[in-house]
Amino acid sequence: MPRPRLTDGERVVVFHGSAGLYCYDLAGKELWNKKFGPCDHIWGSAASPIIYKDLVVHNFGPHEKTFLVALKKTDGTEAWKNDEIGKKPGDYFGSWSTPVIARTGGRTELVMSWPAVVKGYEPETGKLLWSSAGLEKEGGTDRLTYTSPLVSEKYVFAAAGFNGAAIAVRTGGTGDVTETHRLWRAAKNPQRIGSGVIIGDHAFVVNEPSVVCIDLKTGKQTWDKNVPGGAWGSVVHADGKLYLTSQRGETLVFTANPKEYEEIAANKLDGATTRASIVPSDGEFLIRTYKHLWCISAKK
């Protein structure tokens, strides 16, 4: 698995799996590291650390020992830690989800998708604000969550992988909101690895091997566009358009039209294979393939 990383413009934080979490300055000098012990899974780790104010927050796992932890970004001192249910040997169980910070219902929340449940926390303290069940798989013991939750002022959308469930939750709740704020639950879906975006009342989501639009009020799928070769990356919203790069290196550019798939362009990188998401930066796009890093921009 590629090593999850992030930067705040002054430092770079990288998770090296069992080797731990490391922080470097922009010249590559190590500032601090935090070792959590083994992080061993047949499919590796993929959650990225995030920065919120003076904290680095990370989903450590999937492993028998699994937790959500916040460290001071200046020196790696632990600020808070929440233990979660870990994976038992031989089980298909775990979350590769990256936490999301968002302003919802008049407060700032850290939202995280776990096996079978999505939760909202107070990011400064780790205090649990709410939770909703519904991501468990019907008729099986698999509990696999690959995608990050999608969060807007009104909605949280969370999805399990490996033909698991998907749910939408109305924001603003407290405690167990399964009965009070969960809007709907779709019990079985195609594979979901890449994440999506929420625009208005609709989510645009990777639904391997396609991209779909979902009405968040009802759970109804309004359109479904096959992606040749499938996509493991995420839908990206930039410059008023949506972008999705397929495993074959073709980037689809389309509008956020909830009624029908409306394609603007399809751009192919010949011979490229990728499972990464396209990244916008200062008017340019970065695409990491198996063999190259591409930078795409308009003619200057």
At residue 179, does pLDDT exceed 50?
yes
The pLDDT > 90 percentage for the chain reads 75
User: What is the distance between the terminal CA atoms of the chain, rounded to a whole angstrom?
Assistant: 36
Distant-in-sequence, close-in-space partners of 70: CB < 8 Å, separation ≥ 6: 55, 56, 57, 58, 78, 79, 80, 81, 123, 126
Report the predicted TM-score, pTM, of the whole model to 2 decimal places.
0.92
The pLDDT-based confidence of 1 (bands split at 50, 70, 90) is very low
Query: What contacts 24+ positions apart, CB below 8 Å, involve 269-275?
Result: 269/294, 272/248, 273/247, 273/248, 273/249, 274/233, 274/245, 274/247, 274/249, 275/232, 275/233, 275/247
The pLDDT-based confidence of 2 (bands split at 50, 70, 90) is very low
At residue 121, does pLDDT exceed 70?
yes
The Cα–Cα gap between 277 and 236 comes to 8
> What pLDDT sits at residue 4?
61
Distant-in-sequence, close-in-space partners of 82: CB < 8 Å, separation ≥ 6: 67, 68, 69, 121, 126, 128
> What pLDDT sits at residue 17?
87
What's the mean pLDDT in 119-125? 97
CA 43 to mean position of chain CA atoms = 16
Mean pLDDT computed over every residue of the chain:
92
> What pLDDT sits at residue 140?
65
Give, in degrees to the nearest 5, the angle at Cα 100 between 295 and 66: 110
Full DSSP string of 94-130 = EE-PPPEEEEETTEEEEEEEETTEEEEE-TTT--EEE
At residue 139, does pLDDT exceed 80?
no
The Cα–Cα gap between 43 and 284 comes to 32
At residue 151, does pLDDT exceed 90?
yes
Enter the tokens of residue 142.
């698999």
pLDDT digits (tens, 9 = 90+) for 251-288: 999 999 999 999 999 999 988 999 999 999 999 999 99
What's the mean pLDDT in 178-206? 94
pLDDT digits (tens, 9 = 90+) for 57-100: 999 988 888 999 999 999 999 999 999 987 666 677 789 999 99
Go through the chain and tell me how many residues it has: 300
The Cα–Cα gap between 98 and 160 comes to 13
At residue 118, does pLDDT exceed 60?
yes
Higher pLDDT: 165 or 41? It is 165
What's the mean pLDDT in 191-201? 93
Domains of the chain with CATH codes: 194-300 (2.40.128.630)
pLDDT digits (tens, 9 = 90+) for 6-48: 788 899 999 998 899 999 999 999 999 999 988 877 777 788 9
What is the bridge-based pairing of β-strands 11-15 and 241-245?
A: unpaired
Contact 160, 137 (CB under 8 A): yes
